[in-house]
């Protein structure tokens, strides 16, 4: 079984040919991290458990497997659209030209506006500020709407909302360091945008309101009709795809009746899976380093919880950029404190700060450097400590182990999701559109993910396609799809 999974070549030979304490320590850690991922039967059992959890959540969860309004693309999405992408720290205002017949989307103009802490109260003034920035973009050098009486727009909204239609919703709570003005609570987001824009004599018509994961899916589906899933893997982890509606129980169906009514497509509906809540069944395989990030034995059934505070997100803890880099940092610090690496000098304080300097970007860049000298210089720049060749090999080994486990578990979650729906189109190709810095920049992660997908579902050929600018393109594509459906 182990050989069939082509486990990465151990780096122990680069560390020492003898069983010294460092080699022994790394081998012990490797047994915890990757020994079980090299067994096909074990991984298939994990897939089975994922499937059980997915079905449970489809039936009754309020915070995962969320039905979304469908946007059926017909190839006739055409014209200029204003796209608004509101993230935690940035507002992006863009003008997009679509040509559905040729599956092309062009960013005509796009501008980012940083959101300072002083602006992080969602109130009437906040929407006026957005309208001011919209006016700045469209009144500049952009002539896309010169002859338009009404500007068609789509919004990618990254905060929790209660969706009331495919183009509207209400804000019920905030996150990401924002506060919510009580006067805004449960108000129409569409009306807030359109009313603020009217102050600048901009006749805005919001045609779509979607989240970032749906944006990835729609962008990928627009560019490639064979797309089966949209995947986000950056700071967090999530995915979106069509799934059967027959798993939903009556209570959940009643709560989502407006979404489900008229949105079933051959008994399928688009679902925002919130897949980060799944995966608690691998807790028997987590390490002491995982336990330092979160007490895995303190909570269960995250995918069925209705508690939005202190959420347990197993898959995110195991696969996302925020947590895999923190796992690597904890392991490096452990080796330092045991006197096994970086013996010549103590590194700077940054290495001992949680979720700070030892980032996913650092791990990716360090791992991708081919020569030990370059790695040592990069480490010195970031943590003010000299790395020997032995230290470099040990740190790379740590990153390799964490990434390999993450890729295996992510592949299990994806293969399990796709097992819930039979795509009867005769194709043996599964196209997954993805966004997020981790998969895009960390080539080793992506290659291991592809490897595990091919091992776990060998009858299918998986193709991963990076969806650049998906947050703005997806909003425009959704707006165009809705415009056609009502036009």
Instruction: Give percent above pLDDT 70 in the chain.
Output: 90
Mean pLDDT of the chain: 88
For 14-50, letters b (16+ CB in 10 Å) and e give bbbeeeeebbebbeebbebbbebbbeeebbeebbebb
Q: What is the pLDDT of residues 381-392, one digit of tens each?
A: 999 999 999 999
Indicate the pLDDT class of residue 8, thresholds 50, 70 and 90: very low
> Is a pLDDT exceeding 70 seen at residue 357?
yes
Of residues 20 and 9, more confidence is placed in 20
> Is a pLDDT exceeding 90 seen at residue 342?
yes
With 0-12 / 13-18 / 19 or more C-beta atoms within 10 angstroms meaning exposed / middle / buried, residue 235 is middle
**Are the beta carbons of 405 and 34 closer than 8 angstroms?**
yes
> Is a pLDDT exceeding 80 seen at residue 355?
yes
Residue with tokens 């899976």: 273
Across 116-120, 356-360, 425-429, least confident range: 425-429
Q: What is the pLDDT of residues 448-467, one digit of tens each?
A: 999 999 999 999 999 999 99
Two tokens at 311? 């959420």
In this predicted structure, what is the pLDDT of residue 434?
A: 97
> Is a pLDDT exceeding 70 seen at residue 472?
yes
- Calculate mean pLDDT across residues 99-125: 93
In this predicted structure, what is the pLDDT of residue 194?
A: 98
In this predicted structure, what is the pLDDT of residue 299?
A: 61
- Calculate mean pLDDT across residues 229-246: 91
Domain 78-214+471-482 has CATH 3.40.50.10440: no
Two tokens at 85? 């992408």
Per-position DSSP letters for 306-370, written without gaps between them:
---TT---HHHHHHSHHHHHHHHHHHHHHHHHTTSS--SSPPPGGGGSTTSSS-HHHHHHHHH--
Instruction: Give percent above pLDDT 90 in the chain.
Output: 62
> Is a pLDDT exceeding 60 seen at residue 15?
no
Of residues 44 and 484, more confidence is placed in 44
Of residues 161 and 105, more confidence is placed in 105
Helix (H) or strand (E) holding 415: helix 389-419
Other Cβ atoms closer than 10 A to 60: 17
Indicate the pLDDT class of residue 145, thresholds 50, 70 and 90: confident
In this predicted structure, what is the pLDDT of residue 76?
A: 87
> Is a pLDDT exceeding 70 seen at residue 141?
no
In this predicted structure, what is the pLDDT of residue 52?
A: 96
End-to-end CA distance of the chain: 56
Indicate the pLDDT class of residue 25, thresholds 50, 70 and 90: very high
Query: Domain-by-domain residue ranges, the chain?
Result: 78-214+471-482
pTM: 0.89
In this predicted structure, what is the pLDDT of residue 176?
A: 66
In this predicted structure, what is the pLDDT of residue 256?
A: 80
């Amino acid at each position: 079984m182990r050989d069939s999974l082509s486990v990465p070549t151990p780096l122990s030979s680069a560390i020492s040919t003898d069983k010294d304490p460092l080699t022994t320590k790394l081998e012990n850690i490797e047994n915890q991290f990757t020994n079980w991922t090299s067994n096909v039967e074990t991984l298939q059992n994990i897939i089975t458990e994922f499937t059980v959890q997915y079905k449970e959540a489809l039936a009754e969860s309020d915070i995962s497997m969320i039905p979304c309004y469908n946007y059926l693309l017909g190839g006739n999405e055409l014209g200029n659209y204003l796209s608004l992408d509101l993230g935690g720290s940035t507002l992006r205002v863009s003008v997009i030209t679509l040509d559905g017949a040729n599956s092309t989307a062009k960013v005509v103009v796009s501008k980012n506006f940083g959101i300072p802490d002083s602006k992080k109260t969602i109130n009437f003034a906040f929407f006026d500020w957005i309208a001011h920035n919209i006016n700045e973009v469209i009144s500049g050098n952009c002539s896309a709407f010169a002859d338009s009486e009404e500007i068609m727009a789509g919004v990618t909204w990254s905060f929790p909302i209660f969706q009331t239609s495919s183009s509207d919703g209400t804000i019920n709570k905030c996150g990401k360091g924002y506060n919510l003005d009580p006067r805004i609570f449960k108000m129409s987001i569409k009306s807030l945008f359109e009313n603020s824009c009217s102050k600048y004599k901009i006749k805005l018509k919001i045609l779509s309101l979607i989240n970032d994961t749906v944006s990835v899916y729609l962008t990928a589906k627009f560019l490639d009709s064979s797309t089966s899933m949209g995947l986000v893997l950056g700071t967090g982890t999530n995915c979106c795809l069509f799934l059967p509606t027959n798993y939903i129980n009556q209570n959940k169906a009643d709560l989502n009746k407006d979404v489900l009514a008229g949105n079933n497509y051959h008994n399928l509906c688009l679902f925002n899976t919130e897949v980060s809540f799944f995966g608690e069944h691998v807790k028997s395989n987590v390490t002491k380093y995982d336990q330092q990030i979160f007490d895995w034995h303190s909570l269960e059934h995250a995918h069925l919880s209705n508690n939005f505070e202190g959420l347990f997100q197993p898959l995110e803890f195991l696969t996302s950029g925020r947590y895999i880099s923190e796992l690597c940092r904890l392991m490096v610090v452990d080796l330092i404190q045991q006197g096994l690496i970086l013996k010549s000098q103590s590194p700077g304080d940054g290495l001992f700060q949680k979720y700070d300097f030892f980032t996913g970007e650092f791990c990716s860049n360090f791992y991708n450097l081919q020569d030990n000298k370059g790695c040592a210089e990069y480490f010195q720049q970031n943590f003010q400590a000299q790395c020997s060749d032995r230290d470099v090999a040990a740190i790379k080994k740590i990153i390799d182990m964490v990434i390999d486990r993450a890729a295996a578990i992510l592949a299990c979650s994806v293969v399990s999701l796709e097992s819930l729906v039979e795509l009867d189109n005769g194709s043996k190709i599964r196209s997954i559109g993805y966004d997020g810095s981790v998969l895009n920049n960390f080539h080793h992660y992506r290659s291991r993910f592809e490897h595990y997908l091919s091992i776990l579902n060998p009858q299918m050929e998986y193709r991963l396609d990076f969806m650049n600018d998906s947050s703005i393109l997806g909003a425009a594509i959704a707006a165009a799809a809705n415009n056609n459906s009502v036009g």
